[in-house]
Amino acid sequence: MNGHPTRDEDFDLYALGALEGAEKQALESHVAFCLGCAQKLADARGRIAILALAAPPAKASAVVKEHLLQQIRAAREGGGAAPIEMKPQPPRPAALSRWTAILLPIAAALAIAALLLWNANRRLDSQLAALRASMQQEQQQLQSARDVASLITAQDTITVQLAPQPAMPHGAAHVMYNAKMGMLMYEGQIPPAPAAKSYQLWLVPASGNPISCGVFNPVGGQPDHWMTRLPKGIQPKTFAVTLEPSGGMPQPTGPKVLVGAPS
């Protein structure tokens, strides 16, 4: 059977176990690769199961009726209502075989369908999580670009050049700072920090303790560019980059590497 079955009743015949020989083999080979016909076969099995459940109850055989009548007559002749003992009859093997043949394929089909749905849901969840992460990253990048544009175009943004200090690693950098917006951007290039050390940028206000603006570890030959937010309204006296223990410090402890003051 290279094409689809031409007779819809073949699905019902197969579900009943009445399809035999080459026709049965052809249908089995076809539904293994055709989702549409596999669904038709599953529907047929469902119809057969419903018909089996809807079948009228079987009537008692003549032998059972005769045995019951004999017990009733014996009870009447004895003058009392003797208890009638009905021994349960074991289920007929043919009936059990019929129910097994009907229910096992249905249970197998339901298990396969549940597994397919579970796998599909898992793939969809993974795809949705990836899409959410991508959207969040794009939103962060868009917001960062907006912040940079706002900082650069604001009239009250100041640019401060940071000059290298004597006997310190030679580098060049500058900061753009807007006190009203509470935004600072660092751009510069400086040699990598020594082992177990990090560079740390500070805003030294006109009064009060220095405020950390960020800890960074440059990669050799590559410039650094990053932005950070600070409390709004702080007027700077100077900006400085110091060499601190790896990870930075709450307050500056190491030597100044780059220093600059607003003009």
* Tens digit of each residue's pLDDT (9 = 90 or more) over 129-152: 888 888 888 888 888 889 899 999
The predicted pLDDT at position 84 comes to 47
Residues 6+ apart with CB under 8 A from 43: 11
> pLDDT digits over 16-70, tens only?
777 778 888 887 888 777 888 888 878 877 776 666 555 555 555 565 566 666 7
Q: Please report which confidence band the pLDDT of residue 159 belongs to, taking 50, 70 and 90 as the band edges.
A: very high
Task: Output the domain CATH number for residue 204.
Answer: 2.60.40
Please indicate, yes or no, if residue 162 is contained in any of the structural domains: yes
Please indicate, yes or no, if residue 231 is contained in any of the structural domains: yes
pTM summary value: 0.53
Q: Is the pLDDT of residue 7 over 50?
A: yes
Cα–Cα dist 201/162, whole Å: 11
Average pLDDT over residues 76-105: 58
Q: Which domain holds residue 252?
A: 158-260
> pLDDT digits over 179-233, tens only?
999 999 999 999 999 999 999 999 999 999 999 999 999 998 789 999 999 999 9
Q: Which two tokens stand for residue 120?
A: 């599909």
Of residues 20 and 246, more confidence is placed in 246
Average pLDDT over residues 4-24: 75
Concatenating the DSSP letter of every residue in the chain gives --S--S-THHHHHHHHT---HHHHHHHHHHHTT-HHHHHHHHHHHHHHHHHHHTSPPPPPPHHHHHHHHHHHHHHHHTTS-PPPP-PPPPPPHHHHHHHHHHHHHHHHHHHHHHHHHHHHHHHHHHHHHHHHHHHHHHHHHHHHHHHHHHHHH-TT-EEEEEEEPTTS---EEEEEEETTTTEEEEEEE-PPPPTTEEEEEEEEESSS--EEEEEE-PPTT--EEEEEE--TTPPEEEEEEEEEETT--SS--S-EEEEE---
The predicted pLDDT at position 57 comes to 53
Cα–Cα dist 175/226, whole Å: 10
Please indicate, yes or no, if residue 74 is contained in any of the structural domains: no
Please indicate, yes or no, if residue 232 is contained in any of the structural domains: yes
Average pLDDT over residues 64-92: 59
The predicted pLDDT at position 94 comes to 57
Please indicate, yes or no, if residue 183 is contained in any of the structural domains: yes
Cα–Cα dist 49/99, whole Å: 9
Q: Is the pLDDT of residue 157 over 90?
A: yes
Average pLDDT over residues 61-85: 61
Lowest mean pLDDT among 8-17, 81-90, 193-202: 81-90
Please indicate, yes or no, if residue 198 is contained in any of the structural domains: yes
Q: Find the angle CA(67)-CA(70)-CA(75) to the nearest 5 degrees.
A: 130
The predicted pLDDT at position 108 comes to 72
Q: Which two tokens stand for residue 54?
A: 């809807």
Please indicate, yes or no, if residue 237 is contained in any of the structural domains: yes
- Are the C-beta atoms of residues 230 and 183 closer than 8 Å to each other? yes
Q: Which of 222, 204, 217, 220 is nearest to 162 (CA)?
A: 204
Domain count of the fold of the chain: 1
Please indicate, yes or no, if residue 239 is contained in any of the structural domains: yes
